[in-house]
Structure 1
Amino acid sequence: MRIVTKINLALAAVVGVSALLNFAALQATVAPRFNQIEDETAQRNQDRALEAIQLQQGQVAASARDYAFWDDTFSFMHGENASYEVKNLNAESMKALNVNFYLALEPDGGVKIDKGFDFSAGEPAELKLTSEPRFPAGHPYLAEFPEAGSRTGLVNTKHGVVAVGYAPILDSERNGPRAGTLLFGKIIDLDLLRETTKVDFELRPFAGAVASNSMVHSDDAIEVTSTLMDVEGKPIADLVSKTSRSISSAGHQAVWAALALLLLAGGALIASLAVILRRIALKRIAGMREHLVQIKSTGTLHPLPADSRRDELSEMVTAFNDMAAQLEELREQLRRQDYQHGAADQAAEVLHNIRNAVSPIAAIISDLADETDARWRDNLDKALGELKNGRIDLERREKLNQFVSLSAAKLLEAERKRHSDVATLKGIVRHVDRILKDGEALSRAERIAEPIDLPRQLRAFASVAGRRPGVSIEFDIADDVCVLGHRIPLEQVWGNLLINAAEAIEATGRGEGTIRVRVVEAELNGAPAAEIQIADDGDGFPPDASERIFQKGFSTRRERSGGLGLHWCANAVGAMGGRLFAESDGPGRGATLRLVLPKARAGLRSAA
């Protein structure tokens, strides 16, 4: 028997056994993993739906705090400010606040105002949140607040489930006595939340005996159920999300496809073995072997060089490269998760150290306050006043002089203690500063600059802003721009900048606008760089705010709070060795953000 025949028979046996083993291995490892990923996806979809409802509660609570801690509301509840209801409780005002209901309760639970509007139709229709004229004393709306804040919850009404936020009515300084309770409510818009979260879910009337969370699998979908509770802790509805079982189906198809591909490649290899052995098979197989050895030694899954000979081995090359691309995508996802977990852990450690460092401050400040308010200081002032009066007898003057001497000694001792306390406070501040600098140095030291395909990354994250109604994005970017940076933070920078631009357009009230993304050649520290310009025709900002706009806590719009996004972006870009600038010709004239990053060397671009 010829050796080629023996090799063909041996290969046939190997291919058959290998196919069976691979099929068994894939069924035992890959298929369960796809099912696990599918369950995790279903749970994430459920979590996004729950977070969307909680976000609406938080937005309503913020409005409730603003109105509850307001002198106008406080005086209105005391029978003053007769124009309050006309000015603040009309359809236009409540629509601007994005709420449907306004409820004001007297301190004894009586309903002073119950006003609402339905904005789903063309003209606002008046609504009532409750039919009760009074709430009982034990109701959560009338409960005491440990501090001046707000609470949130859900209420089941004939108009649907309503997200509510309520707070005690105090003056603008958050002082009492409490004049009642103010509540804002918003009817949960399921269609809007589905569009926002991209999750298929619904609210079903609660029909069970007790609240529960469950996950049910069917042939074509996974249903996850979570029971929602109202402000009194009673179940009012079940939130049910549906996730298609396309992932597990794709996993089973991939297993069979892998098996079929292996069998086809084996059969073709056996049929053409004689020609391959005589001509170029051994050389090409040796090249593949060297490539695999290199992968094993370096740990980097580089694709095989393109093979244009259109035979079985070239098909294997294509399949391998496709697999390498898929594995690279999975590795990228894992890297993002690792980055997020690492950042959270580092932040927790820094906060823990800071909390420990500043714990003595309260006691020191309390001691300083007690010393300042000491009664003997008032007595010292009175004694000095009497000594200035020459019409006191000698015995009284001697007693006063003795008291002043003792008080002077006590005053010196108090001053020494105050200097000691201030020195301690300075030490605490320096310690906190060292903690922060150490955390910043550590976070920067962990990141290594890598080549990034700029056009691909920009276009990928442009969808964040492009989904907003009326906002369009235009690109002017060459296809071969590659920069050096930190991939994960740079993705978050694009997200921040594009969303800020979209919100600036929406703030104009025009209903439409354009974001223009352009990349031009630049220079950074004497080296070639790329300047990315993100320009919008939104509401802009005063030119003198171009430096302060990157300060933590600074925001150009009063309705927004925080001011953390651009501050974080500037720090992240600086950690990459880049620069971030902001320009505007003034309010209403748009803005341009210019981000400068170093270019990657030609030898590194292939790894981007």
Structure 2
Amino acid sequence: MRFFKNKRIRNSLLLNLSLIGLVAAAVLFLLLNAAIDKSFTALEERELQGHIGRVADFQKTSLRSITARSKDWGIWDDSYYYAQDFNSAYEDSNINAESFQNALVDGMAIVRFSDGAARSFAFDREEGEELPELATDLRAIVTKPDFVEKVRKQDDVQSFITFQGQLYTIASVQLRKSDGSGTPPGFLTFIQKIDSSKTNQALQVSTTIELGSSIKDTVVAKSANAIEVAAPFKGQDGKTVASIALHLKRPLTEAAKELLFITFGGVFFLIVGLLVVLSRRVKTLVLDPVERLHKHVERIRESGELKALTAPAPANEFGALQGEFNNMTTELQQLRAQLESQSFTLGKSQSAVGLMHNIRNCLSPVRVILESLDQNGDDPLPAQAPRALEELSAPALDQPRREKLISFLSAAHEHVGAQSAMQRQQIREAARNLMNALNAIDAAAEGERDTRFDERCDLAGLLSHSGNIARYAEDIDVMVDVMCDGHIAATGNRVLLSQVIENLVTNALESIRETGREDGLIMLSATQDNISGLCSISVTDNGTGFAPAMAAQLFERGFSTRTSKSGGLGLHWCANTVRAMDGELTLKSNGNGSGARATIRLPLWQDEAIQNQSAA
């Protein structure tokens, strides 16, 4: 009977473990499929957008290149005078296959504005032979009245065009002398052929040029194993004259499927192995000891004495032990649910307090600026200005008096102008602080999972703007000194780093207020170390300071050295935020009354670090 019951428990356990394994495998397959499909789809989309972007860059580069070559020939004394008389000397020395090969163009035309006369030339750059038919077609296009009128109104015009079943870039520039002077007597036009071999080489994918296409925008068509992308080439009138088709394969899709099955297969067999081992270990480490443990618990309950476990307990007592364990588990679950509810409520409260703390730092300068504008916004010209204007209009006013009045009114006008400029600067600063407040709210709404810590953070601007919190402080005159060693950029989150620095400046400002003085000094500085790849941001004040032994304690939640206000969240939040950006925040002071220095160390922006190392 005992053997039967033991065997029955083991079978139930094996069945349960097998069911759990199958459910876990199914869930794992679904999760892996969702994660891998999402990741590889994002990678494929990023690669697709890269191809589309390279097509646009290729078009822009082609137009800029042909325009630059047109200007090389068009802004030239020889071309300028050639348009006036079409002399043969110019054609003998410049119009040949070698010149066209050097200029990387296939056709050229020069048109005179006065009478519409034109000369056109075309060469096969590979064979070195003239192409009279292409030259004739080119001349027919560039001598059209609407084409001539458009070039007459603009210094240069460029677009795409088709000739004889081929796609070309075409650029026209007004003819001028080599120094850029002179009235344009006409214009010069260059064309350059674009074929599949050129686009294949430039885009590094298989492409075809389709003439007569009517698509207006880029079109993407996806199939199971390939992606077809078609992008238009626009003519001078903005209409599509041709399109380029990119034939892309989808290796990432196949790789995603292979990765899914390989990963799932490996994990599935790992689960099977773990279940086999677990079933054996559970029997040895759980079932047998539980029998002994239950009997031992009964003896302790009956005798009230703690004794060593000596004899094994009957196997059929596992049910009673499970009931007792379940009761205990239920109580623990209730306690845990209460704790999680309280932790969730506390977390929401702390997040709200942190957000309000950052918003208060952003809005404090705005309030001071608005109060200043309210007090000084109606400051008119001096009271004597109207009388001075009236006196100045008198015909009999002597010259010395007139000059004195003009000087007075000029000074008054300059004063009003300077005051207006200062008010505009204050309004811009208030707008920037309001934007920082909005960014703080947006960052809180996005949540930590959406926060990026790989952004470029230009420290000169961040330090300058953060210093304005102290410059516009209320009831205290603080001098702010900002020093940034060159163009330093850190890697992190620009909005969060700005909030951290503003928090440190606010703490420095409050520390100065605690001294009871009406003035103070805050220094913000940034340096970089190319060897270590780190930059340092320091905020130094001449406030109350603190005992060196308290430095580590200042980062604890709720701790504050201030007695006049509640606090303690700012530095705790700052330290956690800097740590999330792979940085470090330290505080240093030589004691009470000696001021303090907060130092942030962050990784340098990667590109900046590489450039500085190369320069070194």
Q: TM-score range by the shorter chain?
A: 0.3 to 0.5
Larger radius of gyration: 2
TM-score by length of 2: 0.46
TM-score by length of 1: 0.46
Q: Which has the higher helix share?
A: 2
